Copies of this chain bind each other. A is one copy, B any other.
Amino acid sequence: MIYAAILGHGVVGSGVAEILINEHKRISDKVKDDIEVKYILDLRDFDDLPYSDKFTKDFNVILQDEDVKIVAEAMGGVNPAYDFVKKCLNAGKSVVTSNKELVAAKGAELLSIAKEKNVNFLFEASVGGGIPVLRPMSQCLAANEITEVKGILNGTTNYILNKMIVDNMPFDEALKLAQDNGYAEKDPTADIEGHDACRKICILASLGFGKHVYPEQVKTEGITDISLDDVEYADNFNCVIKLIGTATKLADGKISAHVRPTLVSRDHILSGVHGVFNAVVVTGDETDDVMFYGKGAGKFPTASAVVADIIDCAKHLNSRKYVFWEDGDSDYVVTPDLKTRLYVYAKSNDYDALIETSALAFPDHDGIIKNRYKSEIAFLTDEDTESSLREKIASIKADKVKIMHTLF
């Protein structure tokens, strides 16, 4: 018999409890031992559940019970999850979590404690919900050097952008619909400003490249500035706009990382990722691009990934899974001046000056969309270093300029 505890009985925590209890036989068959939920920590009362007797409001009961070998943290947020997880690991308990905020902020430290205590700290569900990403990345790609990780890491923003692209729905309306359908929180900031995607690219980069990348090191841009005009211009360039998180290993071993709205060519596999689906593309030196795709959120997809980690912990109670990265440092993430193509949107009350200066800045460019009626232009630049492109763009006389990156 292996005893487990669940911290938090919200969406994910209750899903974990339900799967562990309802699917007890199937899971026991896989583990070849019984996994029994002994405690569920929550400050609220849940009196009407078939497993109401398992609830406790006192974390110390769980911490001090030596029978509890596996703890599933499903509270979310950094505090008090960080304190609780640290104490559990230090007490020799394996911990699994779906908490991306915690892993992105404290992963290196918690992994180091887990290593020291010879227990496991697993967090497959923290990226991509029910999509297996971290485990195949760390195991199957063992023979590869990973050179880039990128993807559509947030279902809420992908749902909103999709509504804008397919249904020509303005941003505000699409956000409202996402909220009504339960795809976006009342306070949607973490999603639409890119913070959620940022945490996930941090975890992917940390695991993929072996050193912790912290959220504050990743330049993050959300989707609030995307208009239906941008969507339409992108379509003209055979592109769709997606919020893409990317982390690239540079030749000197440093990392370039960012989250930003990006024009993705319709020929790129990521352009076909619709609605609340997520997808992570891992580029290895031997495998080329490999993509993992699925629903990135939702109670049961996420809970099932947490349960898979619990099963893995139960099967490796006395050995460690190889999931580890070192702490990072302040100059690990850099902003290199790479060759790229940019999408440029510019608007001016003085349309003639706009046309004239853009023709001077990009003299050989023949793919400019000119919209005299709206007094605006849009184009894709040819490839050049980003600094050189931005210098040219700066010379365009406009009241408003919007620049987006591209992915072909």
Interface residues of A (CB under 8 A from B): 19, 23, 26-27, 30, 124, 130-132, 135-136, 139-145, 267, 269, 271-274, 277, 279, 284, 286-295, 298, 300-301, 303-305, 307-308, 311-312, 315, 319, 322
Contact = CB atoms under 8 A, between A and B. Distances in A.
Given A142-B30, A292-B291, A286 B272 contact: no
A130 B288 contact: yes
A135 B307 CA distance: 16
22 contacts: A19-B286, A130-B286, A130-B287, A132-B136, A136-B140, A139-B308, A141-B304, A141-B308, A142-B307, A142-B308, A142-B312, A143-B305, A143-B307, A267-B274, A269-B273, A269-B293, A284-B304, A286-B303, A287-B304, A290-B292, A291-B292, A315-B322
A289 B276 CA distance: 12
Contact of A293 (B277, B290, B298): B290
A280 B315 CA distance: 27
Contacts of A23: 143
A273 to B, nearest CB: 7
A140 B145 contact: no
Nearest to A294: B290
Nearest to A131: B290
Contacts of A145: 26
Nearest to A270: B272
A143 B19 contact: yes
A322 B30 CA distance: 8
A139 B301 contact: no
Which of A140, A141, A273, A298 has most B Cβ within 10 Å?
A: A140
B308 A143 contact: yes
Q: Report how many copies the assembly holds.
A: 2
Contact of A143 (B135, B136, B273, B304): B304
Contacts of A289: 293-295
Contacts of A308: 139-144
A267 B275 CA distance: 11
B269 A142 contact: no
A279 B292 CA distance: 10
The 10 A-B pairs of least Cβ separation, nearest first, read A132-B140, A272-B272, A143-B307, A286-B304, A132-B136, A290-B294, A130-B287, A291-B293, A143-B304, A286-B300
Contact of A292 (B284, B292, B315): B292
Given A30-B322, A135-B136, A269-B272, A290 B130 contact: yes
Nearest to A268: B272
Nearest to A138: B30
Contacts of A269: 272-274, 277, 293
Contacts of A140: 124, 132, 135-136, 305, 308
A295 B287 CA distance: 7
A381 B193 CA distance: 45
Nearest to A298: B288
A143 B27 contact: yes
Contacts of A267: 274
Contacts of A27: 142-143
A287 B26 CA distance: 16
Contacts of A132: 136, 139-141, 290
Contact of A294 (B274, B291, B298): B291
Given A143-B308, A305-B143, A308-B142, A293 B293 contact: yes
B286 A142 contact: no
Nearest to A304: B286
A210 to B, nearest CB: 10
Nearest to A166: B267
B139 A312 contact: yes
